[in-house]
Amino acid sequence: MVDRKPSLSPSKISTYLACAAKYKWTYADERGRWYMRSKSYFSFGSSLHLILERFHDSGDMGVQTVEEAAAAMDESWIEAGYANSQDMQEALGEGKRIIQSYVQQEIDRPKEAKTLFVEKLFRLDMGCFDLIGRMDRVDEYPDGSLEIVDYKTQRKGVSDEDVKVDLAMGCYQLLLRAAYPDRQIRATINSLSTNERGTGSFSDAEAADFRNDLQQLGNSILNRDYEGMAPVFRADLCPHCDFLRLCRSHDDFNEPPSTAQESS
């Protein structure tokens, strides 16, 4: 049996760029799984994505109206990670508001494109690893061009420049370009809470540069010595991180005493 090559996703890469120790405990060292806690923002986003997937899936006729979307939200709501019942109910109310507003806008908006895929996983051979990415939605326009649509459930606003520098949107463009080399590809981030959109696309040269940078970064991620790595304290990340106790066990973890006392 041939071992399958390792895979990297935008989520894995972003985690590494934020904190190599967090990447280690999340993906490279199984001891970390015992410290991972449910997060309310993951539950919130996943709940909304489930409804949006159903709404845009032509084979699912159960979420076609605003009322059906609200009912589906009640049925599919993920409760994990909330501090208490009141916080959960407030989040559910906000989720319903976002979903109902989105569905009504989509019903009223002229249909320029047809949806090809919802929640579709793509894979691209990058040499020593596979790049994978699950796209929220891919639309096809009459001129044959394709648009990647990525939902952000709690992001406050978005611009075209945000799309241009977004790691995940760059990865998705590479993946879709490889699958459809003869098509024009663009990527859109949809900020659901503010009803704003930002759109961008790679030129051929930009796509080649991004792929080269990603290949080098992926090699660094997969070949790093995580066992011998000393975690570095980050004031913006560590105090609320699930893995703080694990990092504290390392002799070279230089945590300020005040932070240790506050989070103990």
Question: Residue 260: pLDDT above 80?
Answer: no
Please give the span between the terminal C-alpha atoms of the chain, in angstroms, as a whole number: 47
Whole-angstrom CA distances from 240 to 33, 85, 204, 243 are: 16, 21, 41, 9
pLDDT tens, residue by residue, 210-254 = 999 999 999 999 999 999 899 999 999 999 999 999 999 988 888
Q: What share of the chain is helix, strand, coil (3-state, %, to 5)?
A: 50, 15, 35
Work out how many domains the chain is built from and give that number: 3
Per DSSP, helices labelled H in the chain are: 10-18, 20-23, 40-56, 66-76, 85-108, 160-165, 167-179, 204-223, 244-248, 257-263
Does the residue 8 lie in any domain? no
Does the residue 6 lie in any domain? no
Q: How far apart are CA 61 and CA 63, in angstroms?
A: 6
pLDDT tens, residue by residue, 85-130 = 999 999 999 999 999 999 999 999 888 899 999 999 999 999 999 9
Q: How far apart are CA 16 and CA 10, in angstroms?
A: 10
pLDDT tens, residue by residue, 157-176 = 899 999 999 999 999 999 99
Domain interval for residue 94 = 40-108
Do residues 146 and 193 share a domain?
yes
Do residues 173 and 244 share a domain?
no
Do residues 67 and 127 share a domain?
no
> Residue 263's pLDDT band (boundaries 50, 70, 90)?
low
Whole-angstrom CA distances from 48 to 99, 169, 200 are: 7, 20, 24
Does the residue 16 lie in any domain? no
pTM of the predicted model as reported, rounded to 2 decimal places: 0.92
Do residues 199 and 99 share a domain?
no
Do residues 252 and 179 share a domain?
no
Q: How far apart are CA 92 and CA 148, in angstroms?
A: 27
Q: How far apart are CA 82 and CA 90, in angstroms?
A: 10
Does the residue 139 lie in any domain? yes
The two structure tokens encoding residue 164: 């241009």
Do residues 118 and 103 share a domain?
no
Do residues 140 and 215 share a domain?
yes
Do residues 206 and 175 share a domain?
yes
Q: How far apart are CA 90 and CA 92, in angstroms?
A: 5
